[in-house]
Amino acid sequence: MKKKVSIIGAGNVGATTAQLVVHSGIADVVLLDIVEGMPQGKALDLAEACPLWDSTSKIKGTNSYSDTAGSDIVVITAGLARKPGMSRSDLLHANADIVIAASAEIAKTSPDAVVIVVTNPMDVMAQLAWKTTGFSCRHVMGMGGILDASRLRAFISWELDVSPEDVEALVLGGHGDDMVPLHRFTTVKGIPLTELLSKKKINQLIERARNGGAEIVSLLKSGSAYYAPAASTFKMIKAIIFDEKRLIPCAAYLNGEYSMKDVYMGVPVVLGKEGVEKVVEVKFTREEKIQFKKSYASVKKLVKQLGM
């Protein structure tokens, strides 16, 4: 019997995530949105593509949380998207209401689910979802670090004219302007990036990755990134379904790790069927520690604004 993945929010990120899951055939999907007809229409379109993809996955569009009951994984993508000139934190209060409502329903209908939060500002929304559901912190996480790292990997591969598959990167901290890319742990087929590029060029690529989402928002004029966020979310879904024990940077609850307490931050974790199975701690340089603390302060500031 296939696993059940419910996606809350049938906008660009949610629908594209549904497409990737259904195309892969690894799970059945429920696509939920408050807009009547929209999730149903997108689900029907995807269902009609399944024969061409040789996929036996079932997909249903709905406006009712009752259809999501018993989900193994629930992805929250619902919320307002950024517009040019907006930061992720500008979405704080509007999206908090949406995440609270979704999380309360998830707690009632899928009490054993693993929850992946994509809605921005993601680190804070993940903490809000954890507080609202009352789930184990291992079962609630935020998607962010894997996306930031993927952007950096792409930019490095273009600069060096090598396959992005051969580039590994690690980006920690909050999913925002204060994210912390660790170039010490960034390699090309095992070769440290510092052996291949100057410090100035590395910093330029890091800065572009840091502003990767804003760059896309400014180009689109309306809406924000969704192909890479959906691909990042799918990678996490797959790791959980197949208990892959993948080492993936994502927003996880810290309760003493990295000397941080009661906060969701982007850190390396082992991701498997139980969700966040382990938080992996790396030793920071003095400069990295300063950057991480700055990122922590930014996330904590937003957490306090929501009264958590």
Rounded Cα distance between 15 and 50, Å, is: 15
CB atoms within 10 A of CB 23: 17
| Interior/surface letters 189-203, b for 16+ CB within 10 angstroms, e for the rest | eeeebeebbeeeebe
Contacts of 291 (CB under 8 A, 6+ apart): 173, 178, 180
Q: Are 123 and 265 in contact (CB under 8 A)?
A: yes
23, 93, 139, 175: which is the annotated catalytic residue? 175
E-assigned strand segments in 218-285: 246-255, 261-272, 275-279
Residue 271 per-residue DSSP state: E
Please check whether residue 284 is in contact with residue 292, taking contact to mean a CB–CB distance below 8 angstroms: yes
Cα-Cα-Cα-Cα dihedral sign, residues 266, 232, 100, 175: positive
Alpha-carbon dihedral of residues 258, 262, 264, 269, nearest 10 degrees? 50
- Which residue from 120, 116, 118, 117 is spatially nearest to 89, judged by alpha carbons? 120
Active site residue 183: no
Alpha-carbon torsion, ordered 214, 95, 257, 281, to 10 deg: -40
Active site residues: 175
